[in-house]
Structure formats: C-alpha cells, structure tokens
Structure 1
Amino acid sequence: MQYEWAEDDFELPYGVVPLGLSAPVDNRKYVMYHGTTSRNAQSIRAYGFSQSEDGMLGPGVYLSRDLQKASAYPKRHPQSDKVVIKVQVNVGKVIAIGYQGHLRQKTWHDARYGEVFDTAWVPPNCGMVKSGLEEDCVWDPDRIKILKTIKPRPVQPYGGYGAWGYQ
C-alpha cells in the first residue's frame, strides 16, 4: 500500500512565520516537523521532546521546516507506523552550518568555543543532507511547542471514487 503526507489545515499560529527557502531569522517562531514512530509520538506528546545524544549536528532535537523531510523518518521503518509531529519553535539565536567539517558543526551550543546558539540550521542543497532538504537542530526542548500529529494517508488506487489519491 502507498501512503501520502498532507496537512489537513494550513493555518499558522499567531506570530509564526511560514516556511521559506531563506535562513531562519533569530528569535522568530516557525512551524517545524519531527518524524518518528507512533509509539515515540505518544511518549513525546505525554512527556515532551528530549535531546538526542548525538547526530550530524551533535545533541539536540532534530526538526525540519519541510514536511517532506520529516516524513522520511525514521528511516527503514514502515510508512504505516510513521507519525510527524507538527510543532511551533522559537529558534532563538541561529547559526548556519553549511558544510561537513564546519568548525561549529557539533559545538554550536558550547560556550567554550565562542558564541552560543539556540538552533543550528543546515541550508537546503548545501551537500550535508542527501535529500537536499533543510534540517534544524534545537538545543533546548522547552523552545518547542507541540501543535498536532500528522499520520500518513493511504492512497486510493486509480479507479476509486473521488480525486486521484484521495478518498
């Protein structure tokens, strides 16, 4: 069976900026997405996000302003059990990490290495992410407010009722 990811609404919370291709602006709020399993989504809704121990950008909560990017996670997991959590994030102070081996790639939040940042942003098509889609890592989970969860919808085979891909 094939699945598709689509939002059922397009309203943004007050003061939240829509997705754009430009860098996130310091201290703005954005809608972002986090892909996970159904079970993990239940835990996150109950207890909130917690930092991963490591990753491409070091510890933090990995998100994207791109639903397509988030819906690919977790990798090698059945689509039918994936969930995307839609969140609102106050990004605080943002640093762009645009290439592998960047001096602050894993130390962007560590004061021992200079200025402290709240969010690390990997720009789209910079060569760090295979998909070419942007990625964000937020240090403090308290900057993240859960809005809702999105589940994939089964795609109706051609010949069914209604418009292509919809019931």
Structure 2
Amino acid sequence: VKGTDFSSYQKPNSERYVMYHGTTRKNAQSIMASGFRQSAGGMLGRGVYLSRDLQKASRYPLNYPDWDKVVLKVVVNVGEVVVINYQHHPLQKTWHDAGYDTAWVPPNCGMVRSGLEENCVWDPNRIQIIKAIEPQPVPHGYGAYGYK
C-alpha cells in the first residue's frame, strides 16, 4: 500500500493508496457502520471525496468546530484515474461515464483554493476503512483554506 511519502504527489495509478476523509463525529460513526455513500454532487460530481493529504482532510467539514471533526483513514483501490487539472475540464463531472474509477485534482493546479490535492472515487466499495483518527492541526499562520 502506498501512502507514506507524498511529497511529489504523483498521479495515483491503479494501486492502493492510504487516503483520508474529514467528516463530523456523527457521520463518521455512520460511515464506519454502513460504509461510504456517494455525495450527490460537488466539484467533480458524484462520488466519495478523499485526499492523500491529511491536512486537507483535517479541514473538513468546513465551518464546523474542531471538537466535532474526525478523519477517517482508508485504503483506496483507485482503479483507472483521470487527471482533472483545470476548471471546466471536459470530464470534470462526467469522468465516470468516460470509464474512469477515480478523478484526481493535482496540488496547486487552480482547482482547489487550498492548493492541496483531492480525489473523487466513484464506487464506495473501492474504499476500505482502516480507522478514525484525530484531525491534524492546521499549521499556525494558515487560514481556513490552508494558505497565508
């Protein structure tokens, strides 16, 4: 399983990766009991939103108090991955229809305000929950979106 050093953040490629999903404590209990469900929508359309960056996941859900946040550590079989690296990409919301299992937004490509990478996995069955962990504190001097 890959997941220890993502300093270069190469595109995930048909392997298994450690990823993280930030949520509320109540939602985490439900996910751990019943598994993930696709979101109804989002920047990349339907799917389960995850990141290999623990700091990114630790910020979610946005606008919730820190005491109510938890991060689920998971292993994902990413399958076929498409890179979505700019707004209004032709496959931004239709990547699954084009045969992809995961959409990946690289860091610092202008898609995400924080500049941190993001993944959207179509099939929740590709995600194996390892455990719930405490969010990683955002470094001092960084705003809610991860930049100064």
TM-score if structure 1 supplies the norm length?
0.78
Residues in 2 aligned to 1:41 and 1:151: alpha-carbon distance in whole angstroms? 12
Residue-by-residue CA offset, 1:14-62 (whole Å, 9 max, x unaligned): xx0124211111x200000000000000000000000000000000000
Q: Percent identity?
A: 66
In the other structure, the counterpart of 1:160 is none
In the other structure, the counterpart of 2:113 is 130
Query: Alignment partner for residue 104 of structure 2, among 114, 121, 138?
Result: 121
Question: Structure 1 stretches (4+) deviating beyond 2 angstroms?
Answer: none
Deviation at 1:99, TM superposition (A): 0.3
Query: Alignment partner for residue 139 of structure 1, among 119, 122, 130?
Result: 122
Deviation at 1:151, TM superposition (A): 1.8
Query: Alignment partner for residue 60 of structure 1, among 40, 47, 50?
Result: 47
Contact kept, 8 Å, 1:80 with 1:152, in 2: the verdict is no
TM-score if structure 2 supplies the norm length?
0.88
Mapping of residues 2-41 of structure 1, within 5 Å? 16-18=1-3, 19-20=5-6, 21-25=9-13, 27-41=14-28
Residues in 2 aligned to 1:144 and 1:23: alpha-carbon distance in whole angstroms? 18
3-state SS of 1:35 partner:
strand
**2:12 partner letter:** P
* Count of aligned positions: 134
The answer on 1:47 being equivalent to 2:58 is: no
| Greater mean deviation of Cα atoms: 16-25 or 68-77 | 16-25
Residues in 2 aligned to 1:41 and 1:133: alpha-carbon distance in whole angstroms? 22
**Unaligned ranges ≥5, structure 2:** 138-148
**1:100 partner letter:** Q
